[in-house]
Amino acid sequence: MSYSPLTPLDGRVAIVTGGARGIGLETARALQENGAKIVIVDINAEAGEQAAKELDSDFIRTDLTRSHEVNKLADGVRSKYGRIDIAFNNAGIAVNTPSETCSDEDWHKVINVNLHAVFYCCREFGKVMLEQGKGSIINTASMSGIISNTPQPQSAYNASKAGVIMLTKSLAGEWAKRGVRVNSISPGYIGTEMTKAGMSNAEWQADWLKFTPMGRVGETREVATAVVYLASDASSYFTGSNLVVDGGYTCW
How confident is the model over 50-69, as a mean pLDDT?
Answer: 98
Distance CA 140, CA 165 (A): 9
pLDDT value, residue 6? 62
CATH 3.40.50.720 for domain 13-192+220-245? yes
Provide the b/e sequence for 40-62 (b: ≥16 CB within 10 Å): bbbbeeebbebbbeebebbbbbb
What are the extents of the domains in the chain?
Answer: 13-192+220-245
What is the Cα–Cα distance from 240 to 35, expressed in whole angstroms?
A: 25
In angstroms, the CA 77 to CA 159 distance is 31
As a whole number of angstroms, the distance between CA 220 and CA 200 comes to 19
| pLDDT tens figures, 99-125 | 999 999 999 999 999 999 999 999 999
What pLDDT is recorded for position 1? 60
Catalytic residues: 157
Please report the pLDDT score of residue 183 as a whole number.
Answer: 99
**What pLDDT digit, counting tens, does each position of 208-248 carry?**
999 999 999 999 999 999 999 999 999 999 999 999 999 99
CB-based burial label for 144 (10 Å; 0-12, 13-18, 19+):
buried
Q: Is the pLDDT score of 7 beyond 80?
A: no
Per-residue model confidence (pLDDT) at position 2: 61
Give residue-wise pLDDT tens across range 118-168.
Answer: 999 999 999 999 999 999 999 999 999 999 999 999 999 999 999 999 999
- Tell me the whole-structure pTM to 2 decimals: 0.96
